[in-house]
């Protein structure tokens, strides 16, 4: 069993984009670990409505890429927007992508990949409003359910979660 990092900010996390991949990773026999920018709890949302709170396992400033087999970046609008403003989070993502281990981002979470400067020459899917940011960072935006480009796995929105989760589990199998 390997550990899988789920990196989120303190709030604004789209609940299903965290919980459904989390459940898929768990069902595949891996251990999901919730990493955030601060200790305590994070607030998930169902679109704009508050949903459940979840406890943070590790603070990103203390997380080490070598401890995890993969990284998942859930979306929501506020969550990745806050993450891309945190140097420790951006550095963790950049190092993770550089490690060659799987990194999966859904919806607006591609913003964090853009901020980490890891999309140049790569194909990505995301929420449509992020496409200009991806293109300006040298990536190719595509409107597809799930895109795997090297170690990057990306999807557009919550409707894509089944394919997104399947791609994460497949990457963990190697």
- Catalytic residue numbers? 107-108
Question: Which residues, at least 6 apart from 20, have a Cβ–Cβ distance to it below 8 Å?
Answer: 161, 162, 165
Q: Which of 112, 119, 125 is nearest to 164 (CA)?
A: 125
Handedness of CA 127, 125, 134, 64 (dihedral sign): positive
């Amino acid at each position: 069993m390997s550990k899988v990092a789920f990196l989120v900010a303190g709030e604004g996390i789209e609940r299903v984009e965290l919980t459904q991949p989390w459940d898929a990773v768990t069902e595949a026999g891996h251990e999901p670990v919730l990493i955030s920018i601060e200790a305590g709890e994070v607030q998930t949302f169902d679109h704009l409505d508050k949903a459940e709170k979840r406890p943070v396992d590790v603070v990103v400033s203390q997380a080490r890429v070598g401890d995890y087999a993969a990284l998942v970046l859930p979306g929501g609008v506020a969550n990745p927007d806050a993450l891309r403003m945190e140097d420790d989070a951006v550095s963790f993502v950049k190092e993770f992508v550089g490690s060659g281990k799987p990194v999966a981002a859904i919806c607006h979470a591609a913003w964090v990949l853009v901020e980490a400067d890891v999309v140049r020459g790569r194909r990505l899917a995301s929420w449509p409003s992020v496409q200009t940011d991806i293109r300006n960072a040298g990536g190719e935006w595509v409107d597809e359910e799930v895109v795997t480009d090297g170690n990057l796995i990306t999807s557009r929105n919550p409707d894509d979660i089944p394919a997104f989760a399947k791609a994460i589990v497949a990457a963990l199998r190697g």
